[in-house]
A and B are shown apart, each in its own frame.
Chain A
Amino acid sequence: MSGATTPAEQAAPPLYWQVQRRRNGDLFGLFAVVVVFLAAYGFLFPGFFTLPGFAKFTQSWFPLALVAMAQAILMLTGGISLAIGAMVSLGAVIAATTMAGPLGVGGGTAVVALAGLGIGAATGLIVVKLRLPAIVVTLAGSFIVGGAALLILPRPGGAVPMWLSDMLAGNTPVAFLILVVIVVLWKIYLATPLGLAIYAAGENPVGAYRSGIRVDRVLVSAYAISGLLSACAGLFVAAQTGSGDPVIGTAFTLNSIAAAVLGGIGFLGGQGSMRGALAGSLLLSLMISVMFFLGFTPVAQYVAQGLIIIGAVAIPQFRRKR
């Protein structure tokens, strides 16, 4: 079903827009909720409509958006990662230990990106070649990656150059622009053979294999991209806080899954779209900000968050089955 949509992007425009409309239609409810929350946020925090206010808001969303994408690409292939949080921590500590040293910002970014790609690809190879379930491999992987982060920086410390923090987490919406670039890159990737096959490999791996798709290669590159995105989220978090912390990413594992599922990505692979995952992450991020501004106690925040996630996932299920 979804596999047929992407060739359409290259061929006939009418079909392309039909497909786009259907994809957006599936997510109409979610988009509506996001708009309501955005309005509530703008009402509670009028500074939202100024440039610095918008920049600050997108910065609080940015890392969650990246990990939601990292999780979504895996879930589209029928996999999952429980090591996202550990990868974020690793990205943060690598950034905080390399950037202030002789490697500089460029070298540090390259090391973060290589670590993300390399660990992601290794995870993918283990899942694919050794035929181990992704959930268990990434569970074990979270210990290995988390341990590596602890080795690099046993306690919070290190430093990220001030100008980088100012650029990424200052008063200009650079983070938002980077996100736009990433989304455009994702669109381009979806038009390549490797990206095109993600849905096919996720929905029916055997069928995809028999149709001549190199399923193994598709999966490994999806894991590599996922690792890259998570490590880059770590870099951003390090820039935000100005230093590294070996356990700063822990919460991202669960939040990435929650965001992807809120965005309509299915656990079985091949269901959902990246715009949904992004909207899901935006909703989660808005929810946390709005509750903060309303002065919810942490307890009420936890309770409300739990209820909203269950509600948001359960209600569409009900509508579909009846």
Chain B
Amino acid sequence: MNSSTSAASFTRRASMVLRSRPFLTFATVLLVWAVASVMRPGFGAFGHLRYLVELASVIGLVAAGQTFVVIAGGIDLSIAAIVTVSAVSLPLLSIDADPTGLTAILATLVMTTFIGLGNGLGVAYLRVHPMIMTLAMATFLQGLLIIIAGGSAISSQNPLVAWLGNARPAGIPAGVFVWLGVSALVLLIMHATPLGTRIYAIGANPLASRLSGVPLQATTTVVYAISGFTAGLAGVLLLGMNGQGYVGIGDPYLLASIAAVVLGGTSILGGLGTYAGTMPGALLLVTITALITVVNASAGWRSILFGSLVLILLLLSGREKVRR
């Protein structure tokens, strides 16, 4: 009897997992990979898939912060600018006294976290709408970037950054390890800490959560600071892969981060979703881009295909409930 109830609960749990958004998104990725490998033998090669996951790790990192912000009921439109600030200023921060380059990375991450903190303070305490606050921050950073970079590409001499972007311990890119580490931490914070619960609460109903004693303003501030941190980390990784930072390097990642979050089943209205969905969402985006590259179309068609595919995939995960 005991075993039969546990079996029943196991099947119930299994069917819950099988029908969950994160799993469905992941299954879609695997399906697309399988079909594409049959159509194009080169697509399924380990080297190519590894490359896709490596590209997805940057989107995955940016989207980690975005997931937090969206679940908390906001949106971060300054992500592209923060990624660029990180990738451009890191080479300039390198200090000769530290041959490993670790201090420069830490300094960059502290800086981007403070930028995110600025967003959070504006949203939480000045009560500026997140879209306007982060947009204005992006404009502000754009000005800052012209001062520090002046329009030219800056090469990185930082050994640790180069290692992060190019090394492959045990055949797997270091960036993927960074992504996995951050993912574990993000999932832990999201689902196993009071902070995570508070973030869901303020996204679902800010007034009710404030009246129940959730520190609304502090939580909001922290969420944007996390987003600044992960965007900064993504910038570091991107710099490592590219070898140089330039103004505009982060631009593709704003839309990618929002798309990955929504494709992963997180509601853009807040309060609902998980990073476990965003991770396959990032993989899905990279896969779409890779497929479009295979088709060998002009830039216009590539853009149209990308938009259409995202729209079609949204039907799987992004629909709202009927409100009548």
Residues of A within 8 A of B (CB): 126, 130-133, 135-137, 139-152, 154, 205-206, 209-210, 254, 257-258, 261, 267, 298-303, 305-307, 309-310, 313-314, 317-318, 321
In the complex, chain B residues whose CB is within 8 Å of the CB of A131: 319-322
A249 to B: closest C-beta gap in Å: 14
- Which residue of the partner chain, among B136, B307, B321, B324, contacts A310 with CB atoms under 8 Å? B136
Name which residue of chain B comes closest to A205, CB basis.
Answer: B323
In the complex, chain A residues whose CB is within 8 Å of the CB of B140: 302-303, 306-307
Stretch in contact with the other chain, from B87-95, B123-131, B209-217: B123-131
Interface residues of B in 16-72 (CB under 8 A from A): none
In the complex, chain B residues whose CB is within 8 Å of the CB of A206: 323-324
Chain A, interface SS category: helix
User: Known: A132-B314, A143-B304, A317-B127. Is A150-B139 also a contact (CB below 8 A)?
Assistant: no
A41 to B: closest C-beta gap in Å: 21
- Which residue of the partner chain, among B129, B146, B305, contacts A313 with CB atoms under 8 Å? B129
0/1 string, B119-161, CB within 8 A of A gives 1: 0001000111101110111011011101100000000000000
User: Which A-B residue pairs are the 5 nearest by beta carbons?
Assistant: A302-B143, A147-B303, A143-B307, A150-B300, A147-B304
Known A131-B321, A136-B258, A306-B140; 17 more pairs at CB < 8 Å: A131-B320, A132-B311, A133-B262, A136-B268, A139-B255, A143-B310, A147-B302, A147-B307, A150-B298, A151-B301, A209-B324, A258-B132, A306-B139, A310-B133, A313-B129, A314-B122, A318-B126
In the complex, chain A residues whose CB is within 8 Å of the CB of B321: 131
Residues of B within 8 A of A (CB): 75, 122, 126-129, 131-133, 135-137, 139-140, 142-144, 146-147, 255, 258-259, 262, 268-269, 298-308, 310-311, 314-315, 318-324
B81 to A: closest C-beta gap in Å: 11
CA distance A261 to B146 in the complex (A): 27
Q: Are the C-beta atoms of A299 and B147 separated by less than 8 Å?
A: yes
B108 to A: closest C-beta gap in Å: 21
CA distance A209 to B269 in the complex (A): 21
Q: Are the C-beta atoms of B319 and A132 separated by less than 8 Å?
A: yes
In the complex, chain B residues whose CB is within 8 Å of the CB of A314: 122, 126-128
